[in-house]
Amino acid sequence: MGVVLGIESSCDETAAALVDDRRTIIAQRIASQDDAHRPYGGVVPEIAARAHVERLTPLIAATLADAGMALADVDAIAATAGPGLIGGVMVGLVTAKALAMASDKPLLAINHLEGHALSPRLADPDLAFPYLLLLASGGHCQLLLVEAVGSYRRLATTIDDALGEAFDKTAKVLGLGYPGGPAVERLAAQGDPAAVPLPRPLLGSSEPHFSFAGLKSAVVRAKQADTYRVADLAASFQQAAVDCVIDRTHRALLGAGPVTALVAAGGVAANGAIRRALEALADEHGLRFGVPPAALCTDNAAMIAWAGIERLALGQSDPLDVAARPRWPLDPAADPVRGAGVKA
């Protein structure tokens, strides 16, 4: 089955990667747009889409050159087809369609969340289904039972903000700039996690859902009070986030049925404190634990190529008229959650 070219353009990273079915990332390139969005404190969709148009094609050419390969050496083309900022998604998907058409290779329209959900299997050849996945990024915070490729049961979601959003907002109010998660983590290392009393929304509640809006607002109020060291605020926020994640994940584990492993993916899974706490929880339950390396947790094209390889191995591909989707839930049968926002 061979080598898949993966393309990712659903948010503010323009990325291309070549991955083979033996889990080798042959080449990958990521062009971050952080500098373009920094003045606005967040991703501006129009700027993101234009940057993808400028950068994607040369980036793909450079990735192929890094590998010493031509398009003819690739066995299929996989691109994120949603969910995400629709302008960027369309740039990546249309580029993939053109390449698939020109080279007469199969096209795989990948759900970005499926890319994150299967990324732990790219990093760990022994990770078997079913596993419990914490998927935490800038737009999502979900607990998913990953039963098989294409079979995902959403056990929990956030009823308001995503966890990455809470990290980004905290960074903003603490004056740490954009993107916020890594900056909060760095500063938290110098602070006292018990210094600032902060809420742990939904802690102990019977459904494993998440909520972070109250925590986010409490950080804003604590900052305005002007009585705490910024490092203590960062550390206390991160500790509250860890406590929520562990309590909610534990709750989901109790209701998930037998699983082989506890794994995490998405940008927030790059956070060391969250990784260590999840590993301890997995240990307690005698479960295998896995988090892909940080570069595979944040948005990247290797995970899109890998999801393509997994689907191709099952004989799947997509027609050239497949649509780009701004919203695309991994588990369409999941009950709507009262209070949940419009995030995909």
Q: Is residue 137 part of the contact set for Zn ion (CB under 5 A)?
A: yes
Q: Is residue 185 part of the contact set for ligand KG4 (CB under 6 A)?
A: yes
Q: Binders of ligand KG4 among 60-99, rule CB under 6 A?
A: none
Among residues 33, 80, 111, 137, the one that binds ligand KG4 under rule CB under 6 A? 137
Q: Is residue 191 part of the contact set for ligand KG4 (CB under 6 A)?
A: no
Q: How many residues bind ligand KG4 (CB under 6 A)?
A: 19
Contact call for residues 131 and 263 (beta carbons, < 8 A): yes
Q: Is residue 115 part of the contact set for ligand KG4 (CB under 6 A)?
A: no
Q: How far is the CB of 207 from ligand KG4 (least distance, A)?
A: 24
Q: How far is the CB of 182 from ligand KG4 (least distance, A)?
A: 4
138 DSSP assignment: S
Alpha-carbon distance of 157 to 315, in angstroms, equals 31
Count Cβ neighbours within 10 Å for each residue of 253-263 and write b for 16 or more, e otherwise.
beebeebebbb
Q: Is residue 211 part of the contact set for ligand KG4 (CB under 6 A)?
A: no
Among residues 9, 157, 236, 271, the one that binds ligand KG4 under rule CB under 6 A? 271
Q: Closer to ligand KG4 at the Cβ: 64 or 164?
A: 164
Neighbours of 192 (CB within 10 A): 15
Residue 166 structure tokens: 């809470």
Q: Closer to ligand KG4 at the Cβ: 12 or 74?
A: 12
Q: Is residue 114 part of the contact set for Zn ion (CB under 5 A)?
A: no
Q: Is 143 exposed, middle or buried (0-12, 13-18, 19+ CB in 10 A)?
A: buried
Stretch that binds ligand KG4, among 87-95, 119-127, 265-273, 313-321 (CB under 6 A): 265-273
Q: Is residue 139 part of the contact set for ligand KG4 (CB under 6 A)?
A: yes
25 DSSP assignment: E
Among residues 256, 298, 317, 318, the one that binds ligand KG4 under rule CB under 6 A? 298
Residue 203 structure tokens: 């802690």
Among residues 114, 299, 310, 318, the one that binds Zn ion under rule CB under 5 A? 299
Q: Closer to Zn ion at the Cβ: 11 or 222?
A: 11
Q: Which does 111 bind (CB under 5 to 8 A by kind): Zn ion, ligand KG4, none?
A: none
Phi/psi-derived region of residue 131, left when phi > 0, alpha when psi is between -120 and 50, beta in every other case = beta
Contact call for residues 112 and 82 (beta carbons, < 8 A): yes
Q: Is residue 138 part of the contact set for ligand KG4 (CB under 6 A)?
A: yes
> What binding mask, one character per residue, do residues 37-76 give for Zn ion by CB under 5 A, x or -?
----------------------------------------
Residue 269 in 3-state DSSP?
A: helix
Alpha helix stretches (DSSP H) within the chain: 34-37, 45-67, 86-103, 112-123, 163-173, 180-188, 213-225, 230-255, 272-284, 294-297, 302-313
Q: Is residue 164 part of the contact set for ligand KG4 (CB under 6 A)?
A: yes
Pairing of strands 25-32, 141-148: unpaired
Alpha-carbon distance of 278 to 267, in angstroms, equals 15
38 DSSP assignment: G
Stretch that binds Zn ion, among 94-102, 132-140, 177-185, 313-321 (CB under 5 A): 132-140
Residues that bind ligand KG4 (CB under 6 A): 11, 137-139, 164, 167-168, 179-182, 185, 266-268, 270-271, 298-299
Residues that bind Zn ion (CB under 5 A): 137, 299
